[in-house]
Amino acid sequence: MLSVADLKKGAKLTIDGDPYVVTAFDFVKPGKGQALYKCKMKNMITGVILDRTYRSGENFEPARLEEKDMEYLYKEGTHYTFMDQENYEQVVMEEDAIGDAKNFLLENTKVSVLLFGDKPIGVTLPNFMNLRVVQTDPWVKGDTSGSDSKPATVETGYVLRVPPFIEEGELIVIDTRTGEYSTRVKG
Amino acid sequence: MSAERASLQIRAQVLQAIRSFFSEQGFLEVETPVLIPANAPEEHIDPVHAAPWQLQTSPEVCMKRLLCRGHDRIFQICRCWRADERGTRHLSEFTMLEWYRSNADYRMLMDDCEALLARVAACCTKDGLFRYNGHKISPSASWARYSVQEAFLRFAKADPLACAQNGLFETVLTEKVEPALAEHNTPVILCDYPRQMAALARIKSDNPAYAERFELYLGGLELANGFSELTDPVEQRQRFDEANRMRKRLGKSELPLPEPFLAELGAMPPSAGIALGVDRLVMLTVGADRIDQVVAFTPESL
């Protein structure tokens, strides 16, 4: 169990069966009175923000979260299937929980899946992923529009801006934290 | 000039303004030990232990003993320590101003507060205003005053005595009352607390459920806590014992009693005393929202 002394930014608790992360915290103590611990918390599954005030002596269930190395296998409708690298068990995650990671997920990518109990609630990709450009307009020599980037679609269907010299069929490196073009893959 | 330099400079000016204000009023500046065998036990204040003694949570015990010895107007600026208090407005080690008057009650302390804040605002701010959390507070306009009962009824539709009974006093105070006090553009005095919220204060003669204690708020920030002192050693010992009983119920350690203080208390003239958080006064003067902005070092940076 956690006590109020464990409450701080980044602490993870279970409330009504859901995992929450403390996003803002303050200690208040009106005039020689009992201390109050004010927390702003985010539901790690739904993203809903919650304000709660606790008093000394209260206890909390920690959120039992675990990160596991998994391999992304395939997608069926809005279900994404991953395989645990240790025991080869498969887990299925909803598109909502995957978030922006779906833009960069390729089959057989090694990822880190965040589990709350048995429930997968998030996925962390490698910081950089190589993805192939499937559509982009050719660079016209002597283009005077002054534009230093153009849109390109990669194999996952994600569209981003790339430098004008990138051609269809090229492999590019994308920073998965920002979703932006990082560099081209040489050779 | 860097923000750090500016806030350190204002801190120095505030300390100087406090000292000159009190010496002009005929107060004697005193120093008392910070390492003591016993503080006045409080239900919700935990001392920092420095075996076999403890650091002061307030200089009150020694300062009241000076009152007993006939020093009638005294003040002190000193460091105090309270275990596990850390937040945007709290540091475990902080600077306290306390002053005491013999043959006075808490109303005279309220007058002192008005004069002191007017002085600090005049000497240490550009426009005579204090600032906190987007609020501008003018100490020269006439101050708002509420009894705790009025404030609870008006801002929370709650009875403070019932709240004190069922343990919701602090919650109602911080959730309902303090935000309403923050909307005032003058300092606010909140006075006459339920007696169980005032372990060292004299009970009101016309309403024994309440004690002569007040708090001073600026922009919703609690700045000072003063009261008419309890001078009855028997009653004082009972209240210390009661504080220790409450501590035991909360699973906290019982604290030793300041016996020499209890032994001398019978000689104390009717008096009034007040504690003011100097770091918070500097915050108001600088216009800082976090206490970290007005100290040279936070514990985390050591």
Give Cα separations from B184 to A183, B124, B139, B141, B166 (angstroms): 57, 22, 11, 11, 29
Strands B144-147 and B188-194: parallel
Q: What is the pLDDT of residues B140-162, one digit of tens each?
A: 999 999 999 999 999 999 999 99
Q: Which CATH number does the domain housing residue A138 bear?
A: 2.40.50.140
Domain membership of residue A103 as a residue range = 65-124
Region B176-180 average pLDDT: 93
Same domain membership, residue A7 and residue A46: yes
Region B174-193 average pLDDT: 95
Per-residue confidence (pLDDT) for residue A8, from 0 to 100: 85
Euclidean distance between CA atoms A24 and A6, whole angstroms: 13
Contact B67, B100 (CB under 8 A): yes
Interface test with B, best of A26, A29, A58 (most B CBs within 10 A): A29
Banded pLDDT at A30 (limits 50, 70, 90): confident
Distance from CA of B24 to the nearest CA of A (A): 29
Banded pLDDT at B188 (limits 50, 70, 90): very high
Banded pLDDT at B235 (limits 50, 70, 90): very high
Q: What is the pLDDT of residues A46-73, one digit of tens each?
A: 888 999 888 888 888 888 888 899 999 9
Same domain membership, residue A74 and residue A47: no
Distance from CA of B184 to the nearest CA of A (A): 18
| E-state strands within chain B | 28-29, 35-36, 49-50, 53-55, 73-81, 93-102, 130-132, 135-137, 144-147, 188-194, 210-218, 221-228, 271-277
Q: What is the pLDDT of residues B71-92, one digit of tens each?
A: 999 999 999 999 989 999 999 9
The residue of chain A nearest to residue B41, with distances taken between CA atoms, is A32
The residue of chain A nearest to residue B198, with distances taken between CA atoms, is A32
Q: Check if B176 contacts A (Cβ < 8 Å).
A: no
Count of beta carbons in the 10 Å neighbourhood of residue B290? 12
Region B6-16 average pLDDT: 97
Q: Which of A62, A78, A94 is the last residue of a domain?
A: A62
Per-residue confidence (pLDDT) for residue A143, from 0 to 100: 63
Region B129-135 average pLDDT: 96
* Domains along chain B with CATH numbers: 3-301 (3.30.930.10)
Per-residue confidence (pLDDT) for residue A118, from 0 to 100: 84
Encoding tokens for residue B161?
């005595």
B170 and A27 within 8 Å at the Cβ level: the answer is: no
Q: What value, to the nearest 5°, has the Cα angle with vertex B13 and ends B11 and B19?
A: 105
Q: What are the respective helix, strand and coil percentages of chain B, to the nearest 5?
A: 40, 25, 35
Q: Residue B59 above 90 pLDDT?
A: yes
Same domain membership, residue A55 and residue A91: no
- Cis geometry, peptide bond prior to residue B52 (ω within 30 degrees of 0): yes
Look at B264 and A9; give whichever has higher pLDDT: B264
Average predicted confidence (pLDDT) for chain A: 89
Euclidean distance between CA atoms A124 and A111, whole angstroms: 6
Q: What is the pLDDT of residues A141-178, one digit of tens each?
A: 666 666 788 999 999 999 999 999 999 999 999 999 99
Same domain membership, residue A171 and residue A134: yes
Model pTM? 0.79
Q: Which CATH number does the domain housing residue A41 bear?
A: 2.30.30.30
Euclidean distance between CA atoms B70 and A178, whole angstroms: 71
Q: Check if B300 contacts A (Cβ < 8 Å).
A: no
A32 contacts in B (CB within 8 Å)? Answer: 42, 44-45, 197, 199, 225
- Among A30, A36, A57, select the one facing B222 at the smallest CB separation: A30
List the end-to-end C-alpha distance of chain A, in Å, as a whole number: 54
| The total number of structural domains that make up chain A | 3
Banded pLDDT at A187 (limits 50, 70, 90): low
Candidate ranges A60-74, A97-111, B16-30; pick with highest mean pLDDT: B16-30
What percentage of chain A has pLDDT greater than the value 90? Answer: 46
Per-residue confidence (pLDDT) for residue A145, from 0 to 100: 64
Same domain membership, residue A90 and residue A75: yes
Q: Residue A43 above 70 pLDDT?
A: yes
Q: What is the ipTM of this complex?
A: 0.74
- Among A28, A33, A53, select the one facing B44 at the smallest CB separation: A33
Q: Facing residues of B136 across strands?
A: B131
Q: Residue B102 above 70 pLDDT?
A: yes
Region A119-138 average pLDDT: 91
Same domain membership, residue A163 and residue A140: yes
Same domain membership, residue A57 and residue A11: yes
B174 contacts in A (CB within 8 Å)? Answer: 28, 30, 36, 53
